[in-house]
Amino acid sequence: MRQMASEQIRSEWDGRAIWPAARRLSAILLVAAGALAGAGAAFYLTGTQDAAPPEAASAPRPAAGPGTGAAAAGTAPPRGDGYAAIAKAVMPAVVNVSSVQVIRTYERYSPFLTDPFFQQFFGGGMYDYVVPRERRELSLGSGVFVDDQGTILTNHHVVEHAAEVKVALSDGRELPARIVGIDPRTDLAVLRVDGGGLPKAILGDSDGLLVGDVVLAFGNPFGLGGTVTMGIVSAIGRGDIGVADYEDFIQTDAAINPGNSGGALVNTRGEVIGINTAILSRSGGYQGVGFAIPSNMAREVLDSLVRHGRVLRGYAGFGLQRLTPDLARAFGLPDTRGGALVIAFDPDGPAAEAGLRRGDVILALGDRPIASDEELRTQMSRLKPGERASLGVAREGRRLTVEVVLGEPPQPRSRRPRG
């Protein structure tokens, strides 16, 4: 995986004192939900006020003349609505998610037992006596109601290893939530709460997004409660970030901070078109680059988790490698701007049965050109068993189409018992 020069990819993690070290070898840190998120927030008051200069204050105001509309009638002009109507409609559907994780550790019975003086009397074996301890860690994040049955979309890392999950609504209610399903490979999770009068947001079509579209980010930054920020879509189809296995992120400059994980990215029609997930930062705070999971990918994961309790993904049975310019020239390809090189096979898999070969270069999936091996993996992960993948392939200077009917992923082989 490519390293990103001096940059850390920080997903909205829970801010625990010891973060998982094995997430990725690149400088990838999940930032997000923020355990005790409000504790690290610093607040600054500028103490400045706009004041008119004395001469301006003493200058007479021009009298309202005829034709000045509301001002002439002595009433204030109508207040501009801006995005307030969208915020009013969506904010009730965005919730604060708090999860409690029980951490079990083992501590030495007494620090004195490691002292050589005491070991003379009690022996070195006492050093091995330990006492189990438990501590509870709180993680804060966000989520969004997506139906009127109390179903909530959030990030997997917000509720990972949670022993207890609660959600706080904008009307002051706090409800226990149960985990319906999780999908670490896309960093999504589905929760459900019971109760009446629950709000919901509308999942929109993320495929219609264009770079430059205005978007609003809703969430719970630093544990402050419901917050909305505004920005634009900076890029689409971002991958190779290192946050999840399957990445097709929307990039935005709408402010996303620790605690925003699982919140909603909303278009100007009030539709949820993304689930806020990660930021790219050198400092750990917002620096203008945030990422959200597209709503269309989130909808597919949601439907599969609700229906089956797990995500069903089709299996092709081949291994891929990024096609570099040098490899493209070696395979006689004049266009080196995209593609994925097939380097390995399951001999009994669907790809082998369809006639795909090692050394084939996959240039397209259906009508969609493929920019990289990661993009192809992500797009094929959205196909279900039994669906057909039409692959545009370059082979020995020829272009052809290979139709692969995806199968069920093979079950992992059970290990032989030891003994």
Tokens of 267: 């278009």
3-class secondary structure, 409: coil
DSSP conformation letters of 289-314:
-EEEEEHHHHHHHHHHHHHHSS----
Out of 187, 248, 253, 373, which one is annotated catalytic?
Answer: 187
Unique residue bearing structure tokens 């610093």: 42
Question: Is residue 381 among the annotated active site residues?
Answer: no
Question: Is residue 157 among the annotated active site residues?
Answer: yes
Question: Is residue 261 among the annotated active site residues?
Answer: yes
How many beta carbons lie within 10 A of that of residue 64, not counting itself? 13
Out of 98, 157, 206, 234, which one is annotated catalytic?
Answer: 157
* Cα distances (angstroms) measured from residue 276 to each of 143, 148, 266, 282, 287: 9, 21, 10, 19, 15
Out of 234, 261, 295, 304, which one is annotated catalytic?
Answer: 261
Tokens of 358: 């090692």
Alpha carbons 327 and 312: distance in angstroms, whole number: 33
The set of long-range contacts for 319-324, using a CB threshold of 8 Å and a minimum separation of 24, is 319/343, 319/344, 319/345, 320/362, 320/373, 320/376, 320/377, 321/373, 322/372, 322/373, 322/374, 323/361, 323/372, 323/373
Alpha carbons 177 and 310: distance in angstroms, whole number: 18
Ranges of H-type helices in 69-177:
84-90, 116-122, 156-159
Please answer whether residues 123 and 116 qualify as being in contact, where contact means their C-beta atoms are separated by less than 8 angstroms. Answer: no
Dihedral angle over CA of 29, 30, 36, 42, nearest 10: 60
Tokens of 349: 């898999």
3-class secondary structure, 414: coil
DSSP conformation letters of 21-61:
TTS-SSSEEEEEE-TTGGGG-------------HHHHHSPP
Query: What is the helix, strand, coil percentage profile of the chain, to 5?
Result: 20, 35, 45
Could you give the residue numbers annotated as active site? 157, 187, 261
